[in-house]
Structure 1
C-alpha cells in the first residue's frame, strides 16, 4: 500500500475518519442511554462503554486544545493566562467547598476533598494550555 501524498485525498480521508468517529460516538451514547433507561445510572456507569466514552471525550478535548491554541489570533502572555486561570479555578474550588460543606449529609472533610479533586482535575488542562502557549511563543521568537 502506498502512502497518500495528495493533500485533497488526505483531507478527504480525515473527513471520513471524523464521520466514522461521530457515528461511533452516537452509537456509544445510544447504548449508554439505553442502559440508563433500563438499568439506571449505576448500570450505565458499570458498562465498559462508559469508560471508553469518557476516555475518548478526554482525549478529544485535549487534542482540540492544541488546535484552539494554534488558532488564537492575539498574542497574550502565557504566564498572565496561567495566573488568571488558576485564580478562577481557586475561586471556583473555594465556592464549591463552601457550598458542599453547607449541604446536609456532607461534612467539612467533604468540603476539602471534593474541591481538591476539582482543583487537580482543572489544573492539568490549564497547565497543558500554558505549555502549548509557551511553546507557541517560543516558536514565534525563533522565527
Structure 2
C-alpha cells in the first residue's frame, strides 16, 4: 500500500477517521445507556466498555490540548496561566471537600479524600498545559 502524499486525500482520510470515531463513540454510548437502563449505574461501570470509553475520552482530551495551545491567540505568560489554573483548581477541590463532608453519611476524611482526588485529576492537565505553553513560547 502506497503512502498518500496528496494533501486533499490526507484531509479526506482524516475526516473519514473522525466520522468513524464519532460513530464508534455513539455505539459505545448506546451500549452503556442500555446497561444503565437495565442494570443501573453499577452494571454500567462494571462493563469493560466503560473503561474503553473513559480511556478514549482522556486520550482525546490530552491530544486536543496540544492543538488548542498551538492556536491560542493571546501570548500571555505560561506561569501566570498556571497560577490562575492552580487557584481555580484549589477552589474547586475545596468545594468538593466541603460538600462531601457536609453530606449525610460522610465525614471530613471522606471529603479530604474526594477533594484530593479531584485536585490531582485537575492539576495534572494544568501542568501538562503549562509544559505545552512553555514549549510553544520557547519556539
With structure 2 as the length reference, what TM-score do the two structures score?
0.98
The aligned counterpart of 1:54 is: 54
Structure 1 runs of 4+ aligned residues shifted over 4 Å read: none
User: Secondary structure of 1:64's partner?
Assistant: helix
Determine if the alignment matches structure 1 residue 24 to structure 2 residue 37.
no
Residue by residue, what CA displacement relative to the aligned partner does 1:81-136 show, whole Å, maximum 9, x if unpaired? 00000011111111221121111100110121110000100011001110000000
Alpha-carbon displacement from aligned partner over 1:57-86 (angstroms, at most 9, x marks no partner): 001111111111111011010000000000
Counterpart in 2 of 1:39?
39
Q: Give the superposed CA RMSD.
A: 0.7
| Secondary structure of the structure 2 residue equivalent to 1:104 | coil
Aligned to 1:10: 10
Once the two structures are superposed, the pairs formed by residues 60-75 of structure 1 within 5 Å of their partners are 60-75=60-75
Q: Distance in 2 between matches of 1:94 and 1:31?
A: 35
CA distance in 2, matches of 1:26, 1:38: 18
The count of aligned residue pairs is 139
Structure 2 regions of 5+ residues with no counterpart? none
Q: Report whether the alignment pairs 1:99 with 2:99.
A: yes
Partner of 2:118: 118
- 2:2 is paired with a residue whose SS is coil
